[in-house]
Amino acid sequence: MKNSNPRIATITGAGRGSGKATALKLGRSGTSLYITDIDSNLLEESLSDLKSEGIEATGGVFDSSDISNAKVLIDSVIEHYGKLDILINNAGASKPNNFPEVSEENWEWNLNLNLKGPFFIMQEAAKHMIKQESGCIINISSISSSGGMTSSPSYAIAKSGVVTMTVTAAAYLAEHGIRVNAISPGIVDTHFHDEVKIKNPSVLEYQIKSIPLGRLAEPEDIASAISFLVSENASYITGEVITVGGGKNRL
């Protein structure tokens, strides 16, 4: 795993699910990692698993919805590694509420975590990447951004904003050699969907039937797409949104 000049990546929400799978995928390729999660136990478990494979990794507990944490996070990465090559804005969650029941509190919680926080983390990372004249940013959107999500409209709206945020940042940062893209996962078999009740057997069966490839995505499917986008093989790709949904592109 040792590399004399490894790429440095930071991944938010890497305590489990797609974030952890991405950390393992990049770490196994020789990338050094600074990972975060809001749950200290999940973070420590991820760091332990990474280090057990000989992957260079450290991290810290951060709440991605709190914009005051954005500068602290990126400064911590720079202080530890001296640079930042890759940012993966992965942290996200949903508090379901049907359209008539969406409260201001629900609205703000969903948008702060899924849109506002990632924007300011991206902004802080870009400041350092501009100095380097290089870098790669991946934001995690959702197929709900294009098709709506009746069980959590504020989440869908936030993820739609992530798409616009990605394209806007890509246009500005291209002249500095920084690429910005987004992944829109479909229905991934992670703890996230326990929270939005998709594990209900009837709901789960309906959702699987609606996916042309006939299965939920695994965290590794998302990690593989991210690994491609941050690689040299994607050096001419920026401002794009790649749907990883098994053929399903709307909820």
| Residue-wise pLDDT tens digits, 7-31 | 999 999 999 999 999 999 999 999 9
Q: Provide mean pLDDT across the span 43-71.
A: 97
Distances (CA, A) of 137 to 90, 189, 210, 217: 11, 24, 31, 22
Domain 8-244 has CATH 3.30.470.20: no
User: How many C-beta atoms lie closer than 10 Å to residue 114's C-beta?
Assistant: 27
The domain spans of the chain are 8-244
**Does the pLDDT value for residue 194 go beyond 90?**
no
Of the ranges 96-110, 158-172, 228-242, which one carries the lowest mean pLDDT score? 96-110
Q: Provide mean pLDDT across the span 90-94.
A: 92
Encoding tokens for residue 165?
A: 């945020």
pLDDT score at 150: 66
pTM, full prediction: 0.93
Question: pLDDT per residue over 38-56, tens digit each?
Answer: 999 999 999 999 999 999 9
pLDDT score at 1: 45
pLDDT score at 96: 81
* DSSP secondary structure code for residue 187 in this structure: S
**Does the pLDDT value for residue 195 go beyond 60?**
no
pLDDT score at 122: 98
**Does the pLDDT value for residue 192 go beyond 90?**
no
The length of the chain in residues reads 251
Residues labelled as active-site residues: 155
Dihedral of CA atoms 123, 128, 132, 133 in degrees, nearest 10, equals 20
Spatial CB neighbours of 181, under 8 Å, sequence gap ≥ 6: 136, 137, 138, 139, 166, 170, 229, 234, 237, 238, 239, 240, 241, 242
Question: pLDDT per residue over 211-226, tens digit each?
Answer: 999 999 999 999 999 9
What rounded mean pLDDT belongs to the chain? 92
**Quick check: helix, strand or coil at residue 8?**
strand
Sheet containing 86-89: give its strands across. 57-61, 32-37, 8-11, 86-89, 135-140, 178-185, 241-244
